[in-house]
Every structure is written in structure tokens, then in C-alpha cells.
Amino acid sequence: MTTRRDFLSRSAMTVAGLGTMASAQVPVQTAESVKQLQPPKKPVIVTRHTGDNSIEEAYKMLLDGTDTLEACHHICVARENDANDHSVGYGGLPNEDGVVELDACCMHGPTRAAGSVGAIQNIRHACLVSRLVMERTGHVMLVGEGAEHFAVAHGLKREDMLTDEARRMWLLWKESRSSQNFWGPPMSSPDGKAPNPAPTLKPQSAIPRHPGPEWADEIRTRSQQLMGMAIDLGIPEDKRSLAIEQVLWPTTGTIHVSALNTKGEISGATTTSGQAWKIPGRLGDSPIIGAGCYTDQDVGSAGATGSGEENIKVAGGHTIIDCMRQGMSPREAGLEALRRIVRNYNGDMNKIRYLDMIYYIVRKDGAYAGCSLWSTTAGGTPKVFTVHDGEQHVENCAFLLDGTTTN
């Protein structure tokens, strides 16, 4: 049996052995064109539109010389604090048991360090926990209860992440499945109705997000039924449509931020509440280093929002950085990762139309791109990303497929 002491002394010998050598030259294969890239004249932040001031503030932090990861986390923290952002932090939509579980990860280019947290409950700032894992442990990833204890040990306070609004949306989702279970008012209650006969309502079938006319009756029937339930659950009038949408087309959403300063230092961070109504314990791509976020000081940084399971299977963040290392532009690299997602379905559009993905990419010289699997949102507007490179602007994503996801 190897004891910890044996292991440590062997490690010490190994390190001592190495110590007699000059620093080992083991060059990584990086295209000459990439090696020669120079840092940008102005800092660059790439992220999704936040609708708050945090991007401006983070940019100012970069101008003032604040660390790039701190600037990324400034934007993440603002999203985690916003109860109206149902895709992240406080106010995020819960898992199928009504419990909010958060995922986050980060990479710090200058120190080549990484940290991650998965399925953490009762802690608002998952992004800061991922940073604590990076800075205050010898690990890279903590999940669940252990992660929560660790966060509390470092002074983060426990609080319920489920807002009243998110709880009612979850109840609507839960009770809308009540013809198959016991949730919701019983048939014997004064307004109780007999269960809907299965053939007229198809509760398990996914209605496309951008449905064709063939779905009109189904949507009308389900929306009317959900509206009645939303009123019954006390969901305020101005929130009812949103709640119904979350039941029919559960939210996805996340925030990824990549930031680069004029010294060429790069960091990336991602934080999310993950897929609404997920199975407890599910981890998406956001806490996976190499999928939801990947940063390499020699090349650039990339992160993702969208169908997490698909992104894990193509290691999206890492794939993009590696493609850029071989000389691809941010745009080419992002599209290549998206092609790998499509390839995993052998190009079957009946399945691919249920997927969604946006990559946010910045290279070490400040070149950047937002790359989307689909060209437009459900509402038919172009998929966009936000850049700050001295001025904040929203740009259309490059896209692989013309059309919209139906998920």
C-alpha cells in the first residue's frame, strides 16, 4: 500500500531530480502565425448581452489594470444577483424537485489555473466558488454538498436561491404534468376536472419553439389550460406568459465572459443555473473545463451557452482553442466546433433542430467572434453576442445553419 508519506517523499525525489535539469523545453505545437500575434491595443470583452452596467464597469476595471478574471466575474456576479435572470444565480429556474442547482467554472490565463463547481445549492455566487476552488484548493472541481460546505467555510452565506417567481413557474411545470401524477388540485375539489384524456393532450411531446401551423391547435389547447393553472397558482398577470413559455419551452441560458487586456492576459468564466427542470445532480457543460469554458494564455479564450450535453460531447471550448492554435480564425474555429455537433447527429435535421449553441471567442490578439448553430432566435431576429473593445456593441453571430432552433 502506498501511504501519503511514501507518495510525498517520492514526489519530492522526482521534483528534486527535475531540479537538477534546466527548465524542460517541451514546446507545444502552435502555428507560427499564432505565436507571432501581438496583444491588442485595447482590452476586449466578449459575452452575451446583459442589459445592465456590468460590462461597462468590467471594461473600466481592465483599463485600470484589474485582473482579467476579476473583470469576468464582475459581469457574472451581476447576473447572479439579478432575480429576473432565470438562467443564472438567484432566481435561476430549479431542477425537477424545485431546488436550484448552480454550475460554474473559470480559467485564469496568466497562471494557467482553473476551478469549477457543479450542482451547488444555497449559494448565490457559483462563479466565486469556482474561483475559490481554483485559488484555495489543490482540486479543480467540487460538486454538491461538498461544494456548499466549502463555500460556507470560505465565508459565503447560505440562502435559498429559489425566488417566489421561479417557484411558481416550477409548480406550473410540475402540476401541468398532473394527469400522470398527484400534483395539482384533485378531481374532488370544487373546480376539479376529470383528467384530460391523453389523446387530445400530448403532455410529453415537445412543441417546437418556432412551430408550424400544424401545431396551432395543440399550442392553443395547452396554453389555455396552462393559463388557467397559472391564475390558480397566483402567478401575477404580467408573468403568466413567461411562465407558460417556460413550461412549453424550458429556458436555457447561461453567462460566459472572456476578457483580454493590453498585456495579452486572458481569462474566461461561465456561470448558470443550467437546464430548467433538469434531473437533480445533472451537470451541463458550464462547470466542465474544456466545454463551457476554456482559456489558454498562448491562444485565447472561448465559452458557450446552449445545449450543454452537446457541448460536452465535442469539448467545445477546448476544440475552439485548439483549432485557433493550429491557425484558424475565431470564426472558423467556432464553426468547426459547431460542425462537430452536427456530425454527432449524422446531419439529421429532425434532431439537430432541437439543439442550440452559441460560442463566445476571443483570440490573444483581440480578434473575436460569436458563433451560433442557428442564424436566428425563435422570434426571427439574428442571434447576437456582445463585445466591448473600447465601445460596447452587439453583433450578429456567424452561424452554421440558416434558420432557428425549435427547442
Q: Which residues bind ligand ASP (CB under 6 A)?
A: 252-254, 272, 274-275, 284-286, 305-306, 308
Cell numbers given for 18:
527535475
Tell the smallest beta-carbon distance from residue 10 to ligand ASP (Å). 40
Tell the smallest beta-carbon distance from residue 113 to ligand ASP (Å). 23
Tell the smallest beta-carbon distance from residue 230 to ligand ASP (Å). 23
Q: Are the CB atoms for 304 and 270 separated by under 8 Å?
A: yes
For residue 60, the tally of other CB atoms under 10 A from its CB is 15
Residue 218 CB partners (closer than 8 Å, separation 6+): 202, 205, 207
Q: What's phi and psi for 9, nearest 5 deg?
A: -70, -35
How many whole angstroms separate alpha carbon 71 and alpha carbon 68? 5
Question: Which residue, 278 or 364, is less far from ligand ASP as judged by CB?
Answer: 278
Tell the smallest beta-carbon distance from residue 15 to ligand ASP (Å). 39
Tell me the C-alpha to C-alpha distance, in Å, between residue 389 and each of 255, 335, 397: 18, 22, 17
Question: Which residue, 125 or 364, is less far from ligand ASP as judged by CB?
Answer: 125
Tell the smallest beta-carbon distance from residue 286 to ligand ASP (Å). 5
Q: Are the CB atoms for 120 and 311 separated by under 8 Å?
A: no
Q: Find how far residue 382's CA is from the centre of its chain.
A: 20
Question: Which residue, 284 or 366, is less far from ligand ASP as judged by CB?
Answer: 284
Tell the smallest beta-carbon distance from residue 302 to ligand ASP (Å). 14
Tell the smallest beta-carbon distance from residue 270 to ligand ASP (Å). 8
Question: Which residue, 122 or 254, is less far from ligand ASP as judged by CB?
Answer: 254
Tell the smallest beta-carbon distance from residue 324 to ligand ASP (Å). 21
The C-alpha torsion from 278 through 281 and 286 to 290, rounded to 10°, is -130
Residue 374 CB partners (closer than 8 Å, separation 6+): 356, 383, 399, 400, 401, 402, 403, 404, 405
Residue 197 CB partners (closer than 8 Å, separation 6+): none
The C-alpha cell 451541463 sits at: 284
Q: Are the CB atoms for 310 and 344 separated by under 8 Å?
A: yes
Half-sphere exposure in the Cβ direction for 353 (13 Å, CA): 14
Question: Which residue, 59 or 249, is less far from ligand ASP as judged by CB?
Answer: 249
How many whole angstroms separate alpha carbon 141 and alpha carbon 332? 30
Question: Which residue, 223 or 275, is less far from ligand ASP as judged by CB?
Answer: 275
Tell the smallest beta-carbon distance from residue 203 to ligand ASP (Å). 23
Q: Assign 315 to helix, strand or coil.
A: coil
Tell the smallest beta-carbon distance from residue 283 to ligand ASP (Å). 8
Residue of minimal CB distance from ligand ASP?
A: 308
Q: Are the CB atoms for 295 and 270 separated by under 8 Å?
A: no
Question: Which residue, 185 or 354, is less far from ligand ASP as judged by CB?
Answer: 354
Question: Which residue, 223 or 305, is less far from ligand ASP as judged by CB?
Answer: 305
Q: Are the CB atoms for 289 and 321 separated by under 8 Å?
A: no
Question: Which residue, 184 or 316, is less far from ligand ASP as judged by CB?
Answer: 316
Question: Which residue, 40 or 306, is less far from ligand ASP as judged by CB?
Answer: 306
Cell numbers given for 145:
454538498
Indicate the DSSP class of residue 215: G
